[in-house]
Homo-oligomer: A and B are copies of this chain.
Amino acid sequence: MSLLFEVGAACAEGGRRGELTLPHGAVQTPVFMPVGTAATVKAVPQDVVESLGNRGAEIILANTYHLYLRPGHELIRSLGGVHRFMSWRRPMLTDSGGFQVFSLAKLRKITTDGVEFRSHLDGSKHFFSPEHSMEVQIALGADVMMAFDECVETPATWQRTKDSMALTHAWAARSKQYWEDHRHEVPWARERSETRDQRSEPTQFEREYDATRFSDKHQALFGIVQGGMYPDLRRESAQRLVEMDFPGYAIGGLAVGEPREVTREMIALCLEMLPKDKPRYVMGVGYPDEIEEYARMGVDMMDCVLPTRAGRHGLLFLRENPADRRSAVVRLNIKRKDLADDQGPIDAGCACSVCTRYSRAYLRHLFSSGEPLGATLNSIHNLAFYLETMERVRSDIAGTPG
Contacts and interface: CB of A to CB of B under 8 A. Distances in A.
Contacts of A293: none
Contact of A375 (B357, B372, B377): B372
A71 interface: yes
Given A204-B356, A357-B46, A362-B39, A340 B373 contact: no
A145 to B, nearest CB: 21
A190 B372 CA distance: 30
**This chain's copy number in the assembly:** 2
A268 interface: no
A101 to B, nearest CB: 18
Contacts of A3: none
A344 B38 CA distance: 20
B75 A203 contact: no
Interface string A15-56: 000000000000000000000001110111111000000000
A366 B47 CA distance: 16
A38 B343 contact: no
Contacts of A79: 341, 343, 359, 361
A400 interface: no
Contacts of A360: 200
A119 interface: no
Given A340-B71, A371-B38, A359 B47 contact: no
Contact of A365 (B71, B203, B345): B71
Contact of A204 (B197, B342, B357, B372): B357
A38 B369 contact: yes
Interface in A7-21: none
A398 to B, nearest CB: 29
Given A70-B365, A79-B343, A357 B205 contact: yes
Contact of A203 (B46, B203, B345): B345
Contacts of A45: 373, 376-377
A72 B254 CA distance: 46
A357 B86 CA distance: 9
Contact of A373 (B40, B341, B343): B40
A40 B202 contact: no
B200 A344 contact: yes
Contacts of A40: 366, 371, 373
Contacts of A203: 343-345, 355-359
Contact of A343 (B200, B365, B368, B375): B200
